[in-house]
A and B are shown apart, each in its own frame.
Chain A
């Protein structure tokens, strides 16, 4: 899957509301999620989309033509 640089930025932005509401979501099921878990979730998510972005990026030489 190819993600553009702008698409990457928007994806990162959309991960913020998910992260800040993650504890509320878990709270509905009686799970008291610590703040550190949210930080880890966000870090893992950012890492995952960075990997996807890099895998989908075209080689530099291809962009010159």
Chain B
């Protein structure tokens, strides 16, 4: 039986191209991560401290947006094509969205990396959270807009494929992987309205000088309108693999198709009306709205807990099919030699820890304890940095052979790589969480202060720094192993079946789930109503207080080239 590349060669080329962009971003972003870890812990400072923020922005944008989302568009293309069992309707549209998204990403990367060259009058050290008043070069915002529109077109491509399939199969249930893709994209369309409005109507005109001032709280709120759901945009590809690929790798079948559908519907409904929980300490938003955001956020725990149950049940079923017995001993029957399985399992284990620290972030009162401390990067390195990134890397060991028709260069190196990521992340994120609890700030090149020392409750701050540096180093080595393993795989000889790519039917199939779950119009309408309820009054209040365009001139981040302008602007903002 032929694999994906033999059945759909044109689609395989697009998926491969998407993964190449994704992995290039991963390599650069990982190098920046190492530089940061060694710089702020004081072990090795190879860059000027001003450039730390260029590195930090590059790390955040290249990994959180480019690596994850290019992997997502590749994976979703694969998932739609193979689950609908038909090619995409027009491959020219597919290449068009790939080209637009890639050009946007290149613009963004150029604007950020130019910050290293003082002679170029361009910089975008605005961090991954690119709201005002920090102002980037217009190229950064234009690139972001192109990138977002590219993802919209990708979604349109998948919806068109689904429409064609529906025409031929009017009475069938939506295949599970396509259902996951479509619900995720509906959530994405809804949530990216915030960042699109912010970028197109406020940030681009402001960066070009067409509009002189900006309302920072409005751009912050619109950013987080998108900035929290984007977390689920990263996470849903991981969920897709945990639900549909991991049970197969474990030797079993998905425990429940209906539960998987419920989870994706819940994410469509609940992902967007929660963004204000990132703004608990922002003045200008009433406490009541923050409380509503907190309540909505706590509801989001439900789909994650359902996922934990369903995925673990599916994996246990697989282990028992392989001869596993007992309450705990079945764990030993799992295919730990397979880097794809082990990586996903370890990613899931650390995601549980990230979920618990996320509850601290989401709680309005205890959030004050850790707000803007190193706890927060500790948290999201467990979620996007492990649950998502490690699942994507592990999934690549199973997915890439289907796209190339070549076997993986080395499974043992793959296994070492995923384990190394787990160990490195345990060291780094554990220390970050603990450092955050004693008040050590995030986003700081040199977190040392005169006449003040942070005091760890258990152990010393020096030990925490050592853990962060060691963890960062292990993570970088892990990425290098991953990239070389895939690169060397490209030189393997093509074979007919490089990997078993069949996906078994779930134990409890779609026929057992209510038909209403497939009513995408209904869920989208409810999701829109929830967003209107959560955001109308806060946004009206923010605009009422300071106007659409506010009164803040902004702070251009051309630090080296425009020091005087920056200082002048800063003085004005502070005044």
Q: Interface residue count for A (Cβ, 8 Å)?
A: 20
Contact of A35 among B332, B427, B463 (CB under 8 A): B463
Contact with A along B441-467 (1 / 0, CB 8 A): 000000000000000011100010001
Q: Which residues of B contact A16 (CB under 8 A)?
A: 422-423, 426-427
Q: How far is the CB of A1 from chain B (nearest CB, A)?
A: 8
* Contact for A20 among B337, B419, B426, B457, CB less than 8 A: B426
Since A9-B416, A32-B458, A35-B459 are in contact, a sample of 19 more A-B pairs with Cβ atoms closer than 8 Å, ordered by chain A residue number, is A1-B332, A5-B337, A6-B336, A6-B342, A6-B415, A7-B332, A9-B336, A9-B415, A10-B336, A10-B419, A13-B419, A16-B423, A16-B427, A17-B426, A20-B426, A20-B430, A23-B458, A24-B458, A27-B457
List 8 contacting pairs A-B, 8 Å CB cutoff, sorted by A: A6-B342, A13-B346, A20-B427, A20-B430, A21-B430, A23-B458, A27-B458, A32-B458
CA distance A4 to B412 in the complex (A): 13
Q: Mark B392-428, 1 if CB is under 8 A from A, else 0.
A: 0000000000000000000000011001001100110
Beta-carbon contacts of A9-30 to B below 8 Å, as 1s and 0s? 1101100110011011001000
Chain B contacts of A27 at CB under 8 A? Answer: 457-458
Query: Does A17 contact B430, Cβ atoms closer than 8 Å?
Result: yes
A13 CB contacts on chain B under 8 angstroms: 346, 419, 422-423
Interface size on B, residues (CB 8 A): 20
Complex interface: chain B residues within 8 A of A7 (CB): 332, 336
Cα–Cα distance between A23 and B458 once the two chains are bound (Å): 7
A24–B457 CA distance with the chains assembled, in angstroms: 9
Closest-by-CB residue of A relative to B419 is A13
Chain B's closest residue to A10 (CB) is B336
> Within 8 Å of chain B (Cβ to Cβ): is A46?
no
Measured CA separation A41–B237 after assembly (Å): 38
Cβ contacts B430-441/A at 8 Å (1 or 0 each): 100010000000
In the complex, the chain A residue whose C-beta lies closest to that of B334 is: A7
B458 partner residues in chain A, CB cutoff 8 A = 23-24, 27, 32
Given contacts A9-B416, A23-B458, contact A3 B422 (CB under 8 A): no
Interface hits, B80-139 → A, CB 8 Å: none
> A13–B463 Cα gap in the complex (Å)?
20
Q: In chain B, residues 496-530, which have Cβ atoms closer than 8 Å to a Cβ of chain A?
A: none
CB-defined contacts of B336 to chain A, threshold 8 Å? 4, 6-7, 9-10
- What's the least CB distance linking A52 to chain B, in Å? 12
Output the residue of B415, B419, B467 with the most chain A CB within 10 A.
B419
Q: Which of A7, A27, A32 has the most CB of B within 10 A?
A: A7
User: Taking A13-B346, A13-B422, A20-B426 as contacts, is the C-beta distance between A4 and B459 under 8 angstroms?
Assistant: no
8 Å CB interface, B331-351 against A: 332, 336-337, 342, 346
